[in-house]
Homo-oligomer: A and B are copies of this chain.
């Protein structure tokens, strides 16, 4: 194996990490693995692939399997095969989103997402969408376009390579075998009772939530929950929100006709003493997004008091409450007063956004209205996933997964902090006691250039400004929001190196 192609740095420049699953079709698995290697940049454009024989021997598969996989990927446009030149990674496997959408004079931005696309809309597997497999993709010179980000340090998603496929499948099998027949008929808009029971128990134990299955409504995620609450007229605006937060949430609220009013932040969290005439406030108490601190106890008590006095309601977005590293978990505000707080949660960070499941834990007075907004039957959340998740939680697999990921993300957090201490000691880092992201504090006026410098290093990330409410007069300063969870494990070190290269050399006043 010393001469093995897979591990030969001279021939391909990096360890390919071609791992085929232990079971299932070899050909399909190899195609998938090669596609991913190209997409993630581990196999660079122009790289010559090993002869069928060598790769077949390395992987322990038949030579024809490799030949077929190569042929398929050539047909799909990922590879090219030329007489005398062998099989190589195509220079530019351009994703084509819609057939007929390839005008010669299209703006350059539409063509920059080859390789490892930064935009989720472009991150599908196969480049030649909607094109016959025999047509090779058009190859373009890349001169005019900026380099494709090779390191994804944007916040918001867990490590996709850590999805617990086997454990999930085992739970799905048990759940679907045991489910009563009626589970496959029209769904209860409240969600499966099995899942609501599992959530009631889990949320009480892990997050200090006080509820019962009858007050939980399953949905497809926190965004869906907000749409149901405001689009369904269960709640009405204006809604107070944190001055820094997810633009995505603000935009969907605006689209639902809800005005959002920014609430400034300080070191104790949102300034809930500044609440005005709003009747509802959306907070991230466990880990302010994106600045990173928890809402302090006196603020928690104050916001509950406000809700009681004003007949208002607190929307608690508990988006990453499971991931705390340096101290005991911070319980939910919901536990202080279940009749004044709507808890919103999902598995998007703890498990995967591919499982489109979330939940609302509701004060009793909202249950009927939320169910009415959902409709007579479940029209959104997959019942199969609901059954599987219920089994995943009750079997203990969810706890095991969260524990494993907490360790992994803590390790990444530590590596980020160590890398900064070594290579960019002038850069402060905050918000690292919890969660899947950290904030790197920058000298005033340097954020935009740091984001651009990161892009030149192939690093995709956002500055704090991207999360600022357009109407706030508060300024959280300059900073980079670094998602530690997104890259696959083997790519994290390189991402940190690229990040450090992009940071400004001097701290303010030093």
Query: Chain A: residues with CB nearer than 8 A to chain B?
Result: 21, 23-25, 28-29, 32, 35-36, 39, 96-101, 119-126, 129-131, 156-157, 160-161, 163, 165, 168-169, 172-174, 176-190, 192-194, 196-197, 212-215, 220-221, 223-224, 248, 252, 352-357, 364, 367-368, 371, 375-385, 388, 486, 488
Cβ-defined contact, B179 with A32, below 8 A: yes
With a cutoff of 8 Å between Cβ atoms, the chain B residues found around residue A385 in the complex are 382, 384-385
In the docked arrangement, what's the CA distance between A107 and B190, Å? 21
Establish whether residues B382 and A188, one from each chain, have CB atoms under 8 Å apart when the complex forms: no
Is there contact, CB below 8 Å, between A364 and B100?
Answer: yes
On whether A185 and B160 interact (CB within 8 A), knowing A180-B36, A380-B356, the answer reads yes
Most B Cβ at <10 Å: residue of A25, A174, A214, A383: A214
**In contact, A182 and B39 (Cβ under 8 angstroms):** yes
Contacts of A35 in B (CB 8 A): 180
A-B contacts, 18 listed (Cβ < 8 Å) = A36-B180, A39-B182, A98-B215, A120-B186, A120-B377, A125-B180, A161-B181, A168-B384, A169-B172, A169-B173, A172-B172, A187-B356, A220-B220, A220-B380, A221-B379, A352-B383, A382-B385, A384-B385
Q: Within the complex, what minimum Cβ distance (angstroms) separates A349 from chain B? A: 11
Instruction: Please name all residues of chain B whose beta carbon is closer than 8 Å to the beta carbon of A123 when the two chains form the complex.
Output: 182, 185-186, 188
Given A124-B188, A126-B193, A160-B184 in contact, is the A178-B28 Cβ separation under 8 Å? Answer: yes
Task: Looking at the assembled complex, report how far the CB atom of A117 sits from the nearest CB atom of chain B, in whole angstroms.
Answer: 9
Q: Are A24 and B177 in contact (CB under 8 A)?
A: yes
- A194 pairs with B120, CB closer than 8 A: no
A186 to B154, CA, bound (A): 12
Is the Cβ of A384 less than 8 Å from the Cβ of B355?
yes
Contact B98 A367 (CB under 8 A): yes
Q: Which residue of B lies closest to A388 (CB)?
A: B384
- Say yes or no: B193 contacts A129, CB within 8 Å: yes
Choice from B176, B180, B353, B380 contacting A187 with Cβ under 8 Å: B353
A97 to chain B: closest residue by CB: B214
Contacts of A252 in B (CB 8 A): 375
Smallest Cβ distance from A43 to chain B, in angstroms? 14
Residues of chain B within 8 A of A368, CB atoms compared: 98
Pairwise interchain contact A121-B376, C-beta atoms closer than 8 A: yes
**Bound complex: CA of A381 vs CA of B385, how far in Å?**
11
Of the candidates B24, B356, B367, the one whose C-beta lies within 8 Å of that of A382 is: B356
> Would you give the shortest CB distance from A169 to chain B, in whole angstroms?
5
Q: Is the CB of B488 within 8 A of A24?
A: no
- Please report the C-alpha to C-alpha distance between residue A390 and residue B196 in the assembled complex, in whole angstroms: 29
Q: Are A178 and B24 in contact (CB under 8 A)?
A: yes
Considering the complex, give the chain B residue whose CB is closest to the CB of A121: B188
Q: Specify which chain B residues have a CB less than 8 angstroms from the CB of A486 in the assembled complex.
A: 185
Contact A177 B160 (CB under 8 A): no
A382 touches B355 (CB 8 A): yes
A163 to B121, CA, bound (A): 33
Q: Which residue of B has the minimal Cβ distance to A164? A: B184
Contacts of A383 in B (CB 8 A): 352-356
- CA A375 – CA B172 in complex, angstroms? 28
Instruction: Give chain B residues whose Cβ lies under 8 Å from the Cβ of A214.
Output: 96-99, 101, 129-130
Q: Given A121-B190, A125-B193, A354-B382, does the pair A178, B376 have CB atoms closer than 8 Å?
A: no
Complex: chain B residue closest to A227, CB-CB: B379
Distance in angstroms between the alpha carbons of A133 and B160 in the assembled complex: 38
B376 touches A215 (CB 8 A): no
Which of A32, A120, A185, A378: most chain B CB closer than 10 A?
A: A185
User: Are A21 and B379 closer than 8 Å at their CB atoms?
Assistant: no
> Which one of B23, B176, B187 lies within 8 Å of A168 (CB-CB)?
B176
Instruction: Tell me if B356 and A121 are in contact (CB < 8 A).
Output: no
Measured CA separation A381–B180 after assembly (Å) = 23
A178 B25 Cβ-Cβ under 8 A: yes
**B residues less than 8 Å from A163 (CB atoms):** 181, 184
Most buried by B among A180, A194, A380: A180
Task: From the candidates B24, B96, B130, B182, name the one contacting A215 in the complex (CB within 8 A).
Answer: B130
In the assembled complex, the Cα of A172 lies from the Cα of B354 at a distance in Å of 14
Taking CB atoms, residues of chain B closer than 8 Å to A215 are 98-99, 130
Assess whether A125 is in contact with B182, with CB atoms less than 8 Å apart: yes
| CB proximity of A401 to chain B, nearest CB, Å | 12
Output the least CB separation between A343 and chain B (Å). Answer: 16
List chain B residues, Cβ under 8 A from A156. Answer: 186
Interchain CB contact under 8 A, A121 and B189? yes
Closest chain-B Cβ to A172's Cβ sits at a distance in Å of: 6
Chain B residue contacts of A382, Cβ below 8 A: 354-357, 381-382, 384-385
Q: In the complex, which residue of chain B has the Cβ closest to the Cβ of A385? A: B382
